[in-house]
Amino acid sequence: MRPITSALLILPLVLSACSEPPASQEIPEVREPGDLRREAPPKLDVRQRLGMRSDSAMGSSQGADDPLGGITFHHTMPEGWEKVANTPMRQVNIRMTDTPEAEAYFTFLPGGGGGLKANLNRWRGQMGQEPLSDDAIAALPTRPIFGQPATFILIDGDFVGMGTDPKPDYRMYGLVLTYSDPQSQQDQAFFLKMTGPKAVLEGQEEAFNLIASSLHAVAPGDEHTHDDEHAGHNHGPEGNDHGDHDGHDHGAEGDDHAGHDHGAEGAPMTSPKDAPAETEGPVGYSWTVPEGWSEGTPSQMRLANLTVDGHDNVECYLTVLAGSGGGLEMNINRWRKQMGQDELSADAIAALPKAPLLGGEASFVTIDGTFGGMSGTVSNENFRMYGLVRVDDSQAFFVKMTGPQAVLAEQEEKFLAFSESITLGPVAPAATTAPAAAPMADNPHGVADPTPPGGNNPQGLSWTAPEGWVDGGERLMRVVTYEMGETQCYITSLPGEAGGVNGNLNRWVGQMGEAELDEAALAALPKISALGKDVPMLDVTGSFTGMSGGTQENYRMLGTVVPAGDHTMFVKMIGPEAEVGAQKDNFIAFCASITQ
Amino acid sequence: MKKLFDFFASYGFAVVLLILLTILTLFGTLEQADNSLYDVQNKYFNSFFLTHDLFGVPIPLPGVYLLSVLLFINLVCGALIRVPKEWKKPGMLIAHGGILYMLVAGFVTYHYSTSGQMTLFPQERSNKYQSYYEWEIEIAELEDGLYGRHWVIPGEQFTDMDVDDTREFFHPDLPFDLMLENYVPNTMPQPTPGDDGVEGFTLAPKPLEMEAAQNAAGAYAMVLNKEKQEVQSGLLWGFSVAPWIVTVEGKDYAIELRHRNWTLPFTITLDEFIRDLHARTTMASNFESVVTKAEPGQADRKINIRMNEPLRHKGYTLFQSGWGPQNAGPNDRLFSTFAVVKNPADQWPLYSCIVISVGLLIHFLQKLVSYLRAENRRRVS
């Protein structure tokens, strides 16, 4: 056999050895301390570690001290309002002089802050109201802030702010502007919010409009005293507009102008407990697996993870990121780089063909080349990548498929069909009304759903949400989050043992500022049912210190850890002691409803 | 086999290789207008193959690394093996040998050299230098207020991760595993409301910088304790000012994503940094460092390191590369930055040039003598 023929025969074997790096790798290098030993650093909180001021709320460039670079925000002060000290999250902070519980503040967040939908529904949850659909959010009116149209929302209800007792008959005015800076290509979010007793705030909408219309940024060294400039009378973009019905939150089906928030049946709701029984169950992503494809194990970042039968080197997956995920151009060019190709110009990217994805149009890209990953250490020659990218106000959606060109050429139609089949929401239509006395709302997933939900639900869990629990939207590393007042209850699923039952229970005990439980105490914990098993339930009251580092006094935590084969499920409820106490039965029932 | 040998030994092949090298040098130079030097070097000069975009047309080309290997083979086959060897005329043989030596120097430099920087304020000392571009994750045991044993995950094991990849790292001597997720090569931590993100921050991807050393990598990290199996999550960011410290089984560990560190076999202490300014300007006319080099078993030695007069010792070269902070006032405390290079083939290009020169000199002298003799014979006849 000629040497050149031998080389050509060996080459595929060599190339085939260039496979994906293993998911678990041993650390190769261990160094002993030398004679010159460094002093151990102090244990700093995350802001100090990242080089930010401890009272700074903003991100910064390369650890700079003042992330806003000294920029301050100013506005015209409405009559009857006064300035209070700014806080890390409030660059403008004012309250009514005679009614201090009526307050208004402005927050600027680089990075998008979670996006429009997530924040509007978070506010709705704070007021005890149901989240709004995309259509309802799109129908909300806009008002200008910094010369840009911001989404305006008016919400009446019982206000439960951070760490406060519920305040009945409150009103909230809110403005949310999400913006992509064209120079830095960074997402930014602006929030203006006013809360107070409804009877007081009914006359303050013009004051809110005045703040919004007069708000402006001042560069360092160019300080003004706009805050001292009080308005003689309320101005607004339309003058005195107390009767501006456009500001009311009409909800999904339309509401009257008195501020009552009606549900689907038209019955007025004054509290979440009166929510109609067809409250939505958990939402998730679902799709149709093309013929000849198989589903692999999803991960936290790959909501759908598929391959083509008989081709282990072909993969296709769906990723959803909060915010812009880096944006269209950056991701398209990142993929092109992975394929060893040069970047496309903005014009070329704008001219890419479109394909449907999750109710919108996504940019579709086909890239041939050598698939080398981020650093080029992997080398898969003659590969092809199909990619779909869609970025909306609050999320970015990616569908990506890679594999040998010859294989992918035959799969293009199926790739597009799969992408088009991806949907978000309950798979089945909403269930029929249940009796008002029933503690649970129907959940279509809990009834019969052969297609496991997608989203952050790689294990295909299903459950029934208790009445009154409000979907808290998608959160990183959580299968689902529910909110009820100031209290949250969420499910997390991690691969493997993830720390084990006792280890995690004691970690939670530590978060509540209490001493660890010994073996006997752990064994004596009451048992509840979850995933069909009897598992211990932790019930502890104390001072809660969460992952963000803030401490909440008089909090209560309910939690359980459920080993489930190749993964471990965590269900945790945390909130003010009284609220959690009132939800304990619901927590137990919720855990019992979780199946896989 | 002979045909293959003849092909690799041919002049035609050599000419093609040299033309391709010229083209790549041109393209690589032009590319630096849009991309960082580091990225261009990796794409054009450190690669086997690449695709160059010429007016929107992608052109596949061999990389300089591959061309250098082929040129080496061509020289060995053509200039050493096939060429008729007359030991009375060794000039071209020596010259070609010098070229081969230079190619070997390039190979050794690429695979075995390291370079980085060391920055010291006066009276500070260090025996470490840091890469400008490469990353590593260090997990260090903290004991008695000092850094102890440490485990190092080199960048090659995680910089190829996509943002949606998850990778776990373990060592039998470590009581926990480290899981990485959401690796991004250039990012800035953004605060996020509520309990979203990790430690209240998310890592928003940023486009790569023109100056590659300004990229700040980041990733989410999770510590999985094997014994008590606790789980702690944290943020790793390349421009953090302090490491993430976790406590596992009563011991503290500092986990840090940082530029790759190497250790010198000696310690440098900056005794004094001297900066002279041009009169009535803030432009430096001269800057140099007075350092003390210390190593076990040898007496300390005071050395001046200045521009064009580096410190060379045990295969390491320390150049005076810069100082700061910029716009420092007359009374501000200044630091000195050294570029540190370890290259076993540091002087080989110089030696190879000498060898080539000697070979050419011998060859030209022999040609001259031969010509003069022929002329003499012609006149005599």
For A59, the closest of B139, B188, B195 (CB atoms) is: B188
Q: Which region among A279-288, A431-440, B19-28, B93-102 has the lowest average model confidence (pLDDT)?
A: A431-440
Q: Which region among A46-55, A138-147, B268-277, B303-312 has the lowest average model confidence (pLDDT)?
A: A46-55
| More confident call, A104 vs A14 | A104
CA distance A260 to chain B (A): 28
B204 touches chain A (CB under 8 A): yes
Cβ atoms B105, B352 nearer than 8 A? yes
For A36, the closest of B170, B252, B267 (CB atoms) is: B267
Pick from B221, B222, B256: nearest CA to B239: B256
Per CB-CB distance under 8 Å, the chain A contacts of B147 are 33, 37-40
Say yes or no for a CB contact (<8 Å) between A35 and B169: no
Cβ atoms A326, B204 nearer than 8 A? yes
Per CB-CB distance under 8 Å, the chain B contacts of A496 are 224
pLDDT for B371 equals 93
Indicate whether A439 pLDDT > 50: no
Say yes or no for a CB contact (<8 Å) between B243 and A49: yes
Per CB-CB distance under 8 Å, the chain B contacts of A301 are 163-166, 181-182
Q: What share of chain A is helix, strand, coil (3-state, %, to 5)?
A: 20, 35, 45
A475 touches chain B (CB under 8 A): yes
CA distance A91 to chain B (A): 15
pLDDT for B352 equals 95
B4 touches chain A (CB under 8 A): yes
pLDDT for B122 equals 87
Indicate whether A225 pLDDT > 80: no
Q: Which of residues 153-182 of B touch A (CB under 8 A)?
A: 153-154, 156-157, 159-171, 173-174, 181-182
Q: Which region among A427-436, B78-87, B222-231 has the lowest average model confidence (pLDDT)?
A: A427-436
CA distance A356 to chain B (A): 22
B126 touches chain A (CB under 8 A): yes
C-alpha to C-alpha distance for B208 and A254, rounded to whole angstroms: 48
pLDDT for A373 equals 54
C-alpha to C-alpha distance for B122 and A530, rounded to whole angstroms: 63
In percent, the amount of chain A with pLDDT more than 70 equals 66
- Can you give the three-state secondary structure of chain B, one letter per residue? CHHHHHHHHCHHHHHHHHHHHHHHHHHHHHHCCCCCHHHHHHHHHCCCEEEEEECCEEEEEECHHHHHHHHHHHHHHHHHHHCCCCCCCCHHHHHHHHHHHHHHHHHHHHHHCEEEEEEECCCCEEEEEEEEEEEEEEEEEEECCEEEEEEEEEHHHCCCCCCCCEEEEECCCCCEEEEEEEEECCEEEEECCCCCCECCEEEEECCCCCCHHHCCCEEEEEEEECCCCCEEEEEEECCCCCCEEEEECCEEEEEEEEEEEEEEEEEEEEEEEEEEECCCCCCEEEEEEEEEEECCCCCCEEEEEECCECEEECCEEEEEEEEECCCCCCCCCCEEEEEEEECCCCCHHHHHHHHHHHHHHHHHHHHHHHHHHHHHHHHHC
Distances A373 to A383, B45, B159, B305 between C-alpha atoms, Å:
12, 19, 9, 42
With bands split at pLDDT 50, 70 and 90, how would you rate the model's confidence at A90?
confident
**Who contacts A589 (Cβ-Cβ below 8 Å, separation ≥6)?**
A439, A440, A464, A466
Mutate to test the interface with A, among B30, B177, B202 (most CBs of A within 10 A): B202
C-alpha to C-alpha distance for A584 and A537, rounded to whole angstroms: 11
Cβ atoms B348, B110 nearer than 8 A? no
pLDDT for A372 equals 76
Indicate whether A6 pLDDT > 70: no
Per CB-CB distance under 8 Å, the chain A contacts of B225 are 499, 503
pLDDT for A440 equals 31
> What's the rounded mean pLDDT across residues A272-292?
55
- Please write the tens of the pLDDT for every residue from B329-346: 556 678 899 999 999 998
Secondary structure letter of residue A289 according to DSSP: P
CA distance B326 to chain A (A): 16
Q: Which region among A377-386, A396-405, A431-440, B369-378 has the lowest average model confidence (pLDDT)?
A: A431-440
CA distance A33 to chain B (A): 5
B297 touches chain A (CB under 8 A): no
> What's the rounded mean pLDDT across residues A87-98?
81
pLDDT for A282 equals 41
Per CB-CB distance under 8 Å, the chain A contacts of B165 are 301
Q: Which of residues 35-54 of A touch B (CB under 8 A)?
A: 35-44, 46, 48-51
pLDDT for B323 equals 83
> What's the rounded mean pLDDT across residues B186-195?
72
Indicate whether A8 pLDDT > 60: no
A351 touches chain B (CB under 8 A): no
Indicate whether A351 pLDDT > 60: yes
pLDDT for B166 equals 85
Say yes or no for a CB contact (<8 Å) between A476 and B202: yes
A64 touches chain B (CB under 8 A): no
For A62, the closest of B173, B204, B216 (CB atoms) is: B216
Per CB-CB distance under 8 Å, the chain B contacts of A51 are 239-241
Indicate whether B378 pLDDT > 50: yes
Indicate whether A264 pLDDT > 70: no
pLDDT for A480 equals 85
> What's the rounded mean pLDDT across residues B350-366?
94
Cβ atoms A35, B147 nearer than 8 A? no
> What's the rounded mean pLDDT across residues A274-279?
29
Say yes or no for a CB contact (<8 Å) between B239 and A41: no
Integer distance in angstroms from the first to the last C-alpha of chain A?
Answer: 57
| More confident call, A298 vs B256 | B256
Say yes or no for a CB contact (<8 Å) between A30 and B1: no
Say yes or no for a CB contact (<8 Å) between B167 and A186: no
> What's the rounded mean pLDDT across residues A246-261?
29
B192 touches chain A (CB under 8 A): yes
CA distance B18 to chain A (A): 24
Indicate whether A199 pLDDT > 90: yes
With bands split at pLDDT 50, 70 and 90, how would you rate the model's confidence at A322?
low
Q: What is the mean pLDDT of chain A?
A: 73
Chain A CA closest to residue B141? A40
Q: Which region among A171-180, A254-263, A586-595 has the lowest average model confidence (pLDDT)?
A: A254-263
> What's the rounded mean pLDDT across residues B129-138?
93
Which of A153-157, A422-426, B51-55, B282-286 holds the top average pLDDT?
A153-157
Domains of chain A, CATH where assigned: 72-274 (3.40.1000.10), 285-424 (3.40.1000), 444-593 (3.40.1000.10)
> What's the rounded mean pLDDT across residues A306-317?
89
With bands split at pLDDT 50, 70 and 90, how would you rate the model's confidence at B170?
very high
pLDDT for A499 equals 65
Say yes or no for a CB contact (<8 Å) between A498 and B200: no
- Please write the tens of the pLDDT for every residue from A107-154: 887 666 667 888 888 888 888 888 888 889 988 988 888 777 889 999
**Who contacts A244 (Cβ-Cβ below 8 Å, separation ≥6)?**
A205, A238
Say yes or no for a CB contact (<8 Å) between A28 and B205: no
A85 touches chain B (CB under 8 A): no
pLDDT for A337 equals 86
Mutate to test the interface with B, among A121, A547, A555 (most CBs of B within 10 A): A547
CA distance B19 to chain A (A): 23
C-alpha to C-alpha distance for B187 and B189, rounded to whole angstroms: 7
Kindly state the helix (H) or strand (E) to which residue A522 belongs, with its residue range.
Answer: helix A519-523
Say yes or no for a CB contact (<8 Å) between A317 and B58: no
Indicate whether A509 pLDDT > 60: yes
Indicate whether B2 pLDDT > 60: yes
Indicate whether A34 pLDDT > 80: no
Mutate to test the interface with B, among A25, A27, A518 (most CBs of B within 10 A): A27
For B153, the closest of A27, A61, A300 (CB atoms) is: A27
Pick from B332, B279, B228: nearest CA to A499: B228
- Please write the tens of the pLDDT for every residue from A463-475: 888 888 988 765 5
CA distance B229 to chain A (A): 4
For A58, the closest of B161, B191, B252 (CB atoms) is: B191
Indicate whether A375 pLDDT > 50: no
In percent, the amount of chain B with pLDDT more than 70 equals 92
pLDDT for A431 equals 35
Say yes or no for a CB contact (<8 Å) between B190 and A500: no
Mutate to test the interface with A, among B130, B179, B196 (most CBs of A within 10 A): B196
- Please write the tens of the pLDDT for every residue from A394-427: 678 899 999 999 999 999 999 999 999 998 755 4
| More confident call, A546 vs B157 | B157
| More confident call, A495 vs A526 | A526
Indicate whether A262 pLDDT > 50: no
Per CB-CB distance under 8 Å, the chain B contacts of A3 are 1, 4
For A49, the closest of B145, B204, B241 (CB atoms) is: B241
For A59, the closest of B181, B191, B240 (CB atoms) is: B191
In percent, the amount of chain A with pLDDT more than 90 equals 20
pLDDT for B70 equals 94
For B241, the closest of A63, A374, A498 (CB atoms) is: A63
Say yes or no for a CB contact (<8 Å) between B181 and A30: no
| More confident call, A66 vs A154 | A154
pLDDT for B357 equals 96
With bands split at pLDDT 50, 70 and 90, how would you rate the model's confidence at B296?
confident
pLDDT for B327 equals 55
Say yes or no for a CB contact (<8 Å) between B189 and A330: no
**Who contacts B84 (Cβ-Cβ below 8 Å, separation ≥6)?**
none
Rg (CA), chain A: 27
A122 touches chain B (CB under 8 A): yes
